[in-house]
Structure 1
Amino acid sequence: MLDTIKLGDLSNSISSFDNVPTIIQFLNMKKVKLTLVLALMFTIGYGQQSNKIEDNKSQMFEESWQSLEKVNASPNWFQDAKFGIYAHWGPVSSAFEGSDPDTFYAGWHGMKMYEDGKKVPTKSGKPTSNFVHHSKKYGNPKKYGYKYIIEQFDPSAFDAKQWAELFVKSGAKFAGPVAMHHDNFAMWDSKSTRWNSKNYGGIDPSAELKKEIEATGLKFMASFHHAFTWQYYAPAHKHGGVAPEDYDLYTNPHELNSETPDDQFYADWWAKLKEYIDVYQPDLIWFDWWLENMNEETRLKFLAYYYNKGLEWNKEVVVSYKESTFPETVAIKDYERGRPNQPKSPTWLTDTSPGAWFYRPNAKFKTPNELVDILVDIVSKNGLMLLNVPPNPDGSIPQEMQDLLINMGEWLAINGDAIYATRPWTIFGEGPTRLPEGGHKVEKFKIEYKSTDIRFTKKSDKEFYIIVLDTPTNEIIVKSLSTEIGVLNSKIKNITLLGSNEKINWVKDDRGLVIKTPSKLPSNYAHAFKVVLEGYKENNIGGNIDAHVD
């Protein structure tokens, strides 16, 4: 009967709603009335749900550095990924169509197009090449301002599925759009600003890319550059011609040297970012510079909101930043076209481009060999590469850029085990070719790695990789593994070349680890050798060794 049943036994049996048949069988055996059972199940279920809610509340982040330092800023998925892609594309992509391929044009066209050397001063006292080109192509910026470029946006060849398929072929593990660049134009169907790709272009590239990218298993990211918008459009106001009804694009009028955004700018900046987070739920948000000039309250509000959203979505999200925007304990530090010249912890990121950031006619791109070497160097130092893809104005991706990405992907298909899910080894590398300094924009130094330049990564304490950055001749000598140097204190069990079944002949002596170059190499760029170790061992204390002790 009911009075013989211990409610504690029943509640233990009904630990969840996942095992309904077992629960029903238990109740039939005990002849428990259905109404009481339902009430009890509801009570128990409600209690469990309440506990979950309370647990989530206890994990939630507050708007303080102390609270935010508890976040796992570099989750395993991010550390394992190593390679991602984003795309600088928008109305400004068409601005350089018809430009002189032999003339230098600054990348920030929406800013430089107003610098006439008179109303808006320049260092030379002459108009910028951007102003000259814009005036010739469209007309005087006072009448044909950046707004006019937006109105010409024609993304007629954009195909999110083709983009995503190409990103997969490249070997990237996360990808997404430049959601908003300095020009304050939203590359999504925004309700927070009328200056968006749906109103001007008829598409929502963020929604389409999220769908196609996530369908391939890649993580979805988005970048935001609109903190700098405050200074970016200051020359537009100085040059003149900005109508008050368009201040929602150009920001409110302010002086060229103003570094203090007004309240409206802060409100608009946050509204766009919050909307994107809520609607598109990106796994990674990447910030360009100048956010460090915005107030601390704004930065804390964003971090707490986004990380709490990650808890709500039940996924670990990532934030990257430049300069001094955030402490390294709460987000991922990014180096623009650069990297440290030594290993660095915590994990960091490089954003780079094979050529100009946005479309340029007759663009010159880095070679796949150069990009592979840069990637390997980055990974050996505990970093990741975020590579820019600059599409054509219509949204198609240039064939040369497609070929470059496919070549990188072919290399990664062979050598990916030495890259993905690896961590830094005891040392990052050896060889004569080094960056003279670390930091932003160090890629300006032309680096050509040789076969004597070697980088290391590891999968575990018993597996590491030797990556030779150019094609070797007769033999490879890894000097760091010499018997005279105590870097490797474990016996080598086996060495293989990724992508090859050929037996590797090697010897370890006072010269180093000497590997005879295989007769056939599986890739055209860097070559990765997998080294399997016995593993480090120690003897336990005991037995005869301490028998003499009284």
Structure 2
Amino acid sequence: MNKKMLKLGFVVLLVLSTNVHQLTAQHKEYYPDPDTAIQRRLEEWKDLKFGLLMHWGTYSQWGIVESWSICPEDLGWATGARKKGVADNYVDYVKAYEKLQTTFNPVKFNPEKWAAAAKNAGMKYMVFTTKHHDGFTMFDSKFTDYKITDKATPFSSNPRSNITKEVFNAFRKENMWIGAYFSKPDWHTDYYWWKQFPQSDRNPSYSVQKYPEQWKKFIDFTHNQINELVSDYGKVDILWLDGGWVRKKTEEEIKTEMFEVYEGSRWARNPQSQDINMPELVKKVRAKQPKLIVVDRAVPGEQQNYLTPEQHIPEKGLPYPWETCMTMANSWSYVPNDQYKSTNELIEKLVDIVSKGGNYLLNIGPSPEGEFDPVAYDRLKEIGVWMKLNGQAIYGTRNYKLFGEGDNIRFTQSKDGKTLNIFLFNYPQGNVRIKNVSFNANSTVKLIGSNQKLKWKAGGEGVDISLPASLKAVTDHVWVLQVQL
């Protein structure tokens, strides 16, 4: 075999092994937190089912993707999202982006309105972006001037300028769990993108190994900001850490990434270990927030208490705590005239996720003035109507022995296994056949929203349930049969 063929074979083997590893990691690489109190807390979190995620920062003024337009990588979805006509080169573009701080003034900011809409929609927890990758801090941090409360930001003169505190308080008053999104990478601080060197990708602009003192400053900076969030903002239930490339890596992992860079198949040109001492960080934050769930996204280990598939629903669910985070519209951040998913699609996704044992974290990006799009409010209101009727089949349930049948039937069950919920995405004409469920002789079936007992008959091919056409009017979306087994 010649050298060219040998090299090609190695590349193919590497790609295949990498894909297998990623697939394995997605489905199997989970390490339960050994703290039984956290395990119990996760069971409580699994009861909540439905939450709200909010991406908000200075970037909302341009109506572009959050943070990523200043990433120097040649990624079509990042460079293509840059605001047109701002600058002719990358350096001037970043300067203009950071100058957005001087015009950010969301005078219509009303977190109580957000919280009320989320509660009425049936949401039980929230996650708010306290800081995204661009480093702009939406709380009054003592460790940066690039923040909402700095005098360079017009909104700093507003009595509600500490936006994170106001958001947390508003949602807490609605008895919702509080989640703090925090980006581990920070593309503004000199401790990460050190101005001694030009940045080449999303990673530090310098060698962490060669300049450990500079990296130590970044570790302290990160720990200090997170300490502020768990010390000064009341009870926090979830610490939701993003930027999974900031993590400890083995020498073998770094070598693999370097080879992929050489072959041109990897976006990062500067792969290296970025250890911020997560075990110590978690120990410190839980000293102040003992039941805090920590989600170190995409980093296998005990600090990733649950996994977070992004913008997709696992085909058959996952065998450990998980949450699909997904946009209500197309973008995570505010984009004018964005296209929102229909109410029916949102409800069906919620049911699909819950039937597979997951939670649904649905994102809305507030406008530069501090408002949700009117369409988002409409969707939340309509979801709330459905949840008020059918929430009993969602909250506090667990997945059944199978999540569903075909594309249009899903199941959940009560924790004691005595109640089975059957979700019908389409209302049947006359009878519906459930093939893989066994009823007891005394089982009763009702459609939620009606007191009428439904007739059913067991046969060799399953159970046939008779549904009168008149009951279709009970709801406009997914219909739920409740079976007492």
Question: Shorter-chain TM-score: which interval?
Answer: 0.7 to 0.9
Q: Alpha carbons of 1:66 and 1:75: their partners in 2 closer, same or farther (altered >3 Å)?
A: closer
Matches within 5 A, 1:501-520: 501-518=451-468, 519-520=470-471
Note the alpha carbon deviations across 1:101-131, whole angstroms, 9 max, x for none.
xxxx65544415xx5xxxxx7478xx94444
For the residues of structure 2 that align with 1:68 and 1:510, how far apart are their CA atoms? 46
Q: Which of 273, 282, 287 is matched with 1:308 structurally? A: 287
Partner of 2:476: 524
Pair member with larger Rg: 1
Could you list the per-position Cα deviations for residues 387-440 of structure 1 after superposition, in whole angstroms to 9, with x for gaps in the alignment?
A: 111111111111001111111111111110110000111211111x3xxxxxxx
- Matching residue within 69, 77, 85 for 2:44: 77
TM-score normalised by the chain length of structure 2? 0.77
Normalising by structure 1, what TM-score? 0.68
**C-alpha separation between the residues in 1 aligned to 2:482 and 2:121?**
22
Shift of 1:458: 2.9
Aligned to 2:242: 288
Percentage identity across paired residues of the two chains = 24
Change (3 A) 1:272 1:169: same
The change in CA–CA distance for 1:495 and 1:143 in structure 2 (over 3 A counts) is closer
Query: 1 CA distance for matches of 2:404 and 2:347?
Result: 15
Query: Is structure 2 residue 217 aligned with structure 1 residue 264?
Result: yes
| Count of matched residue pairs | 407
How far the C-alpha of 1:70 sits from its partner, in A, is: 4.7
1:173 matched to 2:127? The reply is no
SS in 2 for 1:276: helix
Alignment map for 1:380-419 (pairs within 5 Å): 380-419=355-394
From the superposition, tell whether residues 193 and 297 of structure 1 become closer, same or farther in structure 2 (CA, over 3 Å).
closer
- In structure 2, do the counterparts of structure 1 residues 290 and 176 end up closer, same or farther at CA, with 3 Å as the change threshold? closer
Q: Is the 8 A contact 2:59 2:66 kept in 1?
A: no
Please give the alpha-carbon distance, in whole angstroms, between the structure 2 residues aligned to 1:110 and 1:177. Answer: 21
Matching of residue 89 in structure 1 with residue 56 in structure 2: yes
Q: Does the Cα contact within 8 Å between 1:455 and 1:468 map onto a contact in 2? A: no
> Quick one: structure 1 residues 505 and 160, their matched pair in 2 at CA, closer, same or farther if it must change by over 3 Å?
same
Residues 138, 403 of structure 1: CA spacing in aligned structure 2 closer, same or farther, 3 A cutoff? Answer: farther
Match of 2:172 in 1: 214
Find 2:109's aligned residue among 158, 180, 205: 158
Query: 2:424 matched to 1:472?
Result: no
User: What does residue range 130-141 of structure 1 map to in structure 2 within 5 Å?
Assistant: 130-131=81-82, 133-135=84-86, 141=92
- The one-letter amino acid of 2:350's match is L
Listed one character per residue, the Cα deviations across residues 477-528 of structure 1 (whole Å, up to 9, x for unaligned) are: 11112xxxxxx37444211111222332221212312112232232111111
Cα pair distance change 1:378/1:170, threshold 3 Å: same
Q: How well do the aligned residues superpose, as a CA RMSD in angstroms?
A: 2.9
CA contact (8 A) 1:138 1:144 kept: no
User: In the TM superposition, what are the counterparts of 1:149-548 in structure 2 within 5 Å?
Assistant: 149-199=100-150, 200=153, 201-202=155-156, 203-225=161-183, 227-230=184-187, 247=190, 252-254=195-197, 255-257=199-201, 258=203, 262-280=215-233, 281-290=235-244, 292-294=246-248, 295-296=274-275, 298-311=277-290, 316-327=291-302, 331-355=305-329, 356-431=331-406, 433=407, 450=408, 453-481=409-437, 488=438, 490-518=440-468, 519-521=470-472, 522-533=474-485
Indicate if the aligned counterparts of 2:246 and 2:276 stay in contact, CA closer than 8 A: no
Which secondary structure does the structure 2 equivalent of 1:293 belong to? coil
- SS of 1:334's equivalent? coil
Counterpart residue identity of residue 517, structure 1: L
Structure 2: unaligned runs, 5 residues or longer: 1-30, 209-214, 249-273
Deviations 1:167-196 (A, max 9, x none): 111110012421111111111122222222
Compute the displacement of 1:384 (Å). 0.4
Q: Is the 8 A contact 1:286 1:320 kept in 2?
A: yes
Partner amino acid, structure 2, of 1:422? T
Instruction: Mark the CA change 1:504 to 1:67 in structure 2 (over 3 Å): closer, same or farther.
Output: closer
Q: Secondary structure at the match of 1:287?
A: strand
The one-letter code of the counterpart of 1:384 is N
Letter in 2 for 1:512: G
Q: Flag structure 1 segments of 5+ consecutive residues without an equivalent.
A: 1-64, 97-104, 116-120, 234-245, 434-449, 482-487, 534-550
Please give the alpha-carbon distance, in whole angstroms, between the structure 1 residues aligned to 2:336 and 2:396.
Answer: 37
Give, in whole Å, the separation in 2 of the partners of 1:456 and 1:133.
Answer: 48
